[in-house]
Structure 1
């Protein structure tokens, strides 16, 4: 007698059922946010939220976050989780300042990359060769880098002119430049405070005003990373190590070599981000200078779904919220309460269209709270402004979690020949 077999339901893989946002939809969302931002600016009178200066500051603050995120992208596409980005950035800040003070800023940039890469070598040895848990290795590296740089600073900066055990002497500037004609025209247009036009002028103006040469290099690394990882044979082999290292090995790929290369390149990117902080952003090394930007860079990478373009958007978002600390923070963040309320109303309408009534109700309730908060206050507490980048990090990761699709072998131990 034949027995009927019932197929067992397969567990749904995280992110497998989620739809990736297409480019036209993404551009439509960005345009919608710009329109809402312009409306909020007109209602609140907070012209600073889209000023050229605000956007220029946001770009400068987004660069180290984006570089750390690119570092995480390279490592995790090869299957190595890199929680140690913060430690590699710390090494980059110290090495960059140490060499930059003695031999000039460009030498400092090179040494910052080397410092981050040295930390990455330790992480690669632990995770790739000895199969140490990736999280444990990364956290250990962060602690080691913090203690090492504090120890070294006592011997290198304490007796130097204008230096101390927690701060390096000033470092020469790399210089900055504007795009002739375009920068001043966009700034003038932004100053007219027209609906939408002035906001777009402020956004674009921030991208072409007061630029450091290192900022241009950092921005160019985003499309370069995409081209190398998705359009070259080298990138294909590297990504195969993060998806299925056993299959990659069966096709002749030296998995160990590619994992080592990916992690070292990852450290170089993080070290470059650290050097940017100590040479461009502040022109001195300061104890605790990274302030968690390595972790925020990792969050930007996750928000971007392990893709360079999404990572750049995430870094820009976090850089913008961070910039509120420096330019009229309490007033601008108060205006953004209204923006958040309007965005939540739009989100609720979309959820109703998708027949997700519970989610829509929650969005509307939070939106009402934001409206009431905005209407009954003139500014927000300074502590909220300081915490804004970290709050945004948590919110973004919470809302984007359903669309994530990490490399399948990310963080998994690998031994040569384990598929035999």
Structure 2
């Protein structure tokens, strides 16, 4: 009997030792995956927000970085392998995923965000995407030490001898800087009505105001077109710092400038339109039932996270009316334009279109820059718009109003 029972205490002791580490181990943290397109300083700014969130929450955020976000997100959704959250760079994408049932409604209060950015992430009163990072595209940048202040109209700018900084390469979305520029010219020259009609799929590309905007852009940058299709858009802006060109277009130009020069107004800007501004945003939407993802997206939309984001490198702007303190005074003045009653804000035309139409738009910009005849390119775009755009039967409905005063209800 002793031989049978004596080992029992030793067995209990061994079993206890084996079980102790399991019982004392820390529980595994919840994880949230988020697909993002940012790199360099843009990603560093976002990651600073991530680290702040992780310090106060028992949740790990796992960014999935890709330059081909649209293609990878489409593939992930088709394979039922969606990330919990993803950046949606266009309202066309928001409409597509919402109609397909891939996007979840969000319990996030966005009433403090400016229009039209707030409304474009909604369907009725339901929020499906939050604009976490905003930009103003209607800016002309110049070096005030070397270049005279540009006039406030595109037609007058065309008569000056300035050499424009032009780079269109941006990975899978190469061509977008030119698309933004053409849309900006249309908005400034023709106003909100023709701009909205075109961006919503109702206007033709191959005649009238849209063709005129393409032609004006081509004339404006004629001296800078050679090699621009394969020249990176940030590298083009850096040329201005080396006196290679004198004028640059768009909010993202400032990302490549020396921050000290921007703070001291060495590099400064003028709005390219007096009454309406072309704006854009990176939205975040939710694709899974992960409740921890709800916590993170609420944090991203909070004033605390937005203040952190805009005061990191990357020259981001916040669409939240409560975020007014910017370490960079120039950046703060630009952000104040989002809240000013002087301007009507119009969402980026290319970002408002169906993603396939936008992709065709970008390709046409590259082809035109490389010397292809304009008219056939625009005829083809009109056909693509009719076949794939919002006017095509079965396509997602157009987003909410593309243009509105910033504080419109």
Q: Do the two structures share a fold, i.e. TM-score over 0.5?
A: no
TM-score range, shorter chain: under 0.3
The structure with the larger Rg is: 2
So what's the TM-score if we normalise by structure 2?
A: 0.26
So what's the TM-score if we normalise by structure 1?
A: 0.25
Greater helix fraction, Structure 1 or Structure 2: 1
